[in-house]
Structure 1
């Protein structure tokens, strides 16, 4: 899920399916710790892998 969007629908789907909602930056600077492209990709990969 992109941080700019509401979690409402994603949380509903997660609740009904047992999935987890993962909020990921979509661009460099989308989160304070996403300072460059490689760091952003690393954050996304780590967030998704933790949710699995």
Structure 2
């Protein structure tokens, strides 16, 4: 079971990344979804790593 702290951290990171990336992409006129997904995935892996290292 995923801890609520991990879920909150992953959700916050994903939302933050999505907002920043959306602003950045709209300023240059493109939105590469695959790159966005890759960034969110990296945030999730990082959050999971931090969560596991604290246990």
Question: What TM-score do the two structures reach when normalised by structure 2?
Answer: 0.42
Q: Which has the higher contact order (CA 8 A, sep 6+)?
A: 2
Larger Rg: 2
Question: More helix by proportion, 1 or 2?
Answer: 2
